[in-house]
Chains A and B, each alone.
Chain A
Amino acid sequence: MYKYRAEITKGEEIRYISHLDYAGVMERAIRRAKLPAAYSEGFNPHIKMAFASALSLGVISDAEYMDFELTKSLCQPEVFEKLSRALPEGVKLLRLKPVREPKPCKGKKHKALMAEVEEAEYELLLPMTEGAAWDSAVAAVKAYNEAKEAFVHRVTPKTDKLIETKQYMLQPVKLSMAGALLKLHMDIAITQTGSVKPGEVLELLAGEYGLPGDTGRVLIRRTAMKGQGRPLIDLV
């Protein structure tokens, strides 16, 4: 089997599709591209593919990563060209590299993509509450950055728990203005035991620290996903 790693985007056009649907989009694109895909065994064979980290519905991304396997070793330009042409609006193939497996004498195979992710960076844009002062936004972010602990309540149909967010913040949250919008930058750790979503941190900033922003209208973009401080595509 010949494995490739793709750096792809999730654009505005498909902002509102789930991670599972996104995976389906990519699987169909690989088939349309007529690449000799490797399939899983079993009664319901799927293309052997893996993603780095699920992206929430409503979040776009400049840096998604997908590993997939082919049964033939094709040269990079051919795979790049064929896959690019088969992609729908909303997905762009930025970079593609064959995954070089370590020599058999060194033992182990290349680490799984999911296990390589250590951090993700996000940019959040949201309108400032009307009449609010810039200073209060600065103060809110500062207070959050200086807090030792900050808990967010995560409620899903399956879970209901308190999550301490600061442990995942690799850098202080940065605040700036982009036109009339507030712009936040977050660098969040993704660990084997968990992580926090940028939307959850925002909820905390607005709810508990008084960030004067209209969180209902936030647009979130993942700008990078890294392992060992480098983009995941550079780890192969």
Chain B
Amino acid sequence: MGNSILRTEKLCKSFSNGGVQQHVIKNLDMEIREGDFTVIMGSSGSGKSTLLYALSGMDKPSMGKVIFDGTEIQDLSNDELAVFRRGNCGFVFQSIYLLENQTVLDNVLTGALIVQKNSPELVNKAKELLKKVGLNEEVWNKYPSQLSGGEAQRVGIVRAIINDPKILFADEPTGQLNSASSRDVLDIFTDIHKNGQSIVMVTHDLKTALRGTRVLYLRDGGVVGDYRMPNFCEDDIKERRNNLTSFLEDMGW
């Protein structure tokens, strides 16, 4: 087990909906460890996304602390948070969110250049990564609307990891993809995890969850289940599935 790189203390997040306070996360204490592929599960509306965004400094908690690699990020201003996210956090979204008017390569570089100085090495790295996820040269100068969903999400992943973030966050990255594309994308996640990337991913989907090494189950604003698995491997997939399913069933999934 790796070192703890992200920790929350009494994390609370509430929204006021039409004047009514809705407490989505309540006094949540948890910890993310380096090298883990952490999967966050829970029923719809249980606050998975909310938690993910609080963990990653995309949004501020209402109360409590988020300690990211020693930095308490809950007190940072919005602009400080933005600077903090650079290099520390990578994101992959369900809706992919590429910049529509930038080419594939420029989408990746837009993510990179705010963190690093431009250099031939950087551009090469971007190209290498694109190649690695199966996007060849002819795609690099296309615009997002000319890509398939799977291709687009692969660009999204490359954009998220180009800065070698401490943690790669993903919110249902395969939610909009068909099963073949999903599989490709998940393979990429598995692959980069094996290379040592820490990942925190929110998902509904059992197949996706199977890729993780740890599953946190969220209910009533707190973590109610914490389940560990060995690294993903196609060979013992059946057993892996059975174990996870029984964990989830215990959780009332």
Chain A complexes with chain B: no
Give chain B's interface residues, CB within 8 Å of chain A: none
